[in-house]
Amino acid sequence: ETGVTQTPRHLVMGMTNKKSLKCEQHLGHNAMYWYKQSAKKPLELMFVYSLEERVENNSVPSRFSPECPNSSHLFLHLHTLQPEDSALYLCASSQDSKSSYNSPLHFGNGTRLTVT
Amino acid sequence: AQKVTQAQTEISVVEKEDVTLDCVYETRDTTYYLFWYKQPPSGELVFLIRRNSFDEQNEISGRYSWNFQKSTSSFNFTITASQVVDSAVYFCALTPPDNTGKLIFGQGTTLQVKP
């Protein structure tokens, strides 16, 4: 399997649930990202990890908690979400976060999250 | 501040027509990169092209071509002889010269190519 894989593809959760989104990349990249894609809004960068270290937290509420146990895996733990958090959550990877000029992002298919 | 504007929200063409997707960007940086990504219905964003701010040469790749003009801060994308498989959302994006791999995306243009 190659590329960036995200699971699950679809997730419906209540506001009191706890769930996690998973991302796995098989490209040998060192940087991984979470982006949020809401309807009618540009994609928003949420988190950046480089060599398992978080290098950017783009003012994301604490109900979103990322985890990067190694350079191939990235999680987004969700807790006490709001209906406005419903969106497509996209994971991406690149060679490393400091060479975006030479290394375009490779995206997964995304997880379509619906908060009820 | 950096910003990317794709004024065309939706475009509909008939197969074999040529179509141009507009992208206008704002940045005070002299060094930056511009990108185009395609998002088919399956959801993933597919990288199409990267252009650095020092290279204003137009680029052609098959039916795709890109026109980069710094004087007007535009990076337009043209699909020649469009096909139904070109139907997707297309995003223009800008990378500022910091070191976080951050992409600033436009709002996207939904292209529908009808048979």
Q: Which residues of B touch A33 (CB under 8 A)?
A: 101
CB proximity A42 to B under 8 Å: yes
d(CA A110, CA A92): 9
Using a CB-CB cut-off of 8 Å, the residues of chain B touching A32 are: none
Q: How confident is the model at residue B92 (pLDDT cuts 50, 70, 90)?
A: very high
In this structure, are residues A22 and A75 in contact, taking their beta carbons and an 8 Å threshold?
yes
Phi/psi of residue A46, nearest 5 degrees: -105, -55
Beta strands in A1-116 (DSSP E): 4-7, 10-13, 18-25, 31-37, 44-50, 53-57, 64-70, 73-79, 87-94, 106-107, 111-115
Per-residue pLDDT of chain A (116 residues; tens, 9 = 90+): 569 999 999 999 998 889 999 999 999 998 999 999 998 788 999 998 887 778 777 789 999 999 999 989 999 999 999 999 999 999 999 887 665 555 788 999 999 999 99
Higher pLDDT, B26 or A53: B26
Q: Is residue A94 less than 8 Å (CB to CB) from chain B?
A: yes
Q: By three-state DSSP, how is residue B84 classified?
A: helix
Grade residue B101 by pLDDT with cuts at 50, 70 and 90: low
Find all residues with CB under 8 Å of B97, minimum gap 6, and list them: B29, B31, B32
Give the residue-averaged pLDDT of B37-62: 89
Pairing verdict, β B74-79 and B64-69: antiparallel
User: Which candidate in B31, B99, B104, B107 is best for mutational testing of the A interface (most A CBs within 10 A)?
Assistant: B99
| Residue A99 C-alpha, separation from nearest chain B C-alpha, in angstroms | 7
What are the chain A neighbours of B35 within 8 Å (beta carbons)?
Answer: 104
Q: Which residues pair with B49 in a beta bridge?
A: B36
CA distance A107 to chain B (A): 6
Rounded to 5, what percent of chain B is helix, strand, coil? 5, 50, 45
Q: What residues form DSSP beta bridges with B13?
A: B113
Task: Tell whether the model's pLDDT for residue B15 goes beyond 90.
Answer: yes
Q: Residues of chain B whose C-beta is under 8 A from some C-beta in A?
A: 4, 33, 35, 37, 42-47, 50, 52, 91, 95, 99-108
Quick check: A79 contacting B, CB < 8 Å? no
What confidence score (pLDDT) does residue B85 get?
A: 95
